[in-house]
Amino acid sequence: MVGVLLWTLGNILINGDLASLLLFGSFLANAVFDLISVFARGVRLIKGTLLGGGH
């Protein structure tokens, strides 16, 4: 999700037109929402880190 977040920010800054803002802005909002929800749940993709879900 961090990659999507950076990609969308880059495209919004470079292009800057309304169509790009609407398209990439929706991707940006989705990435931000996903990151917030992952951290709120405390999901761990790698055991012992905040990157993922070890049991």
**pLDDT per position as a tens digit, 1-55:** 778 888 888 888 898 899 988 998 898 899 889 888 888 887 666 665 555 554 4
Q: Assign residue 17 a region: left if phi > 0, alpha if psi is -120 to 50, beta otherwise?
A: beta
DSSP type of residue 44: -
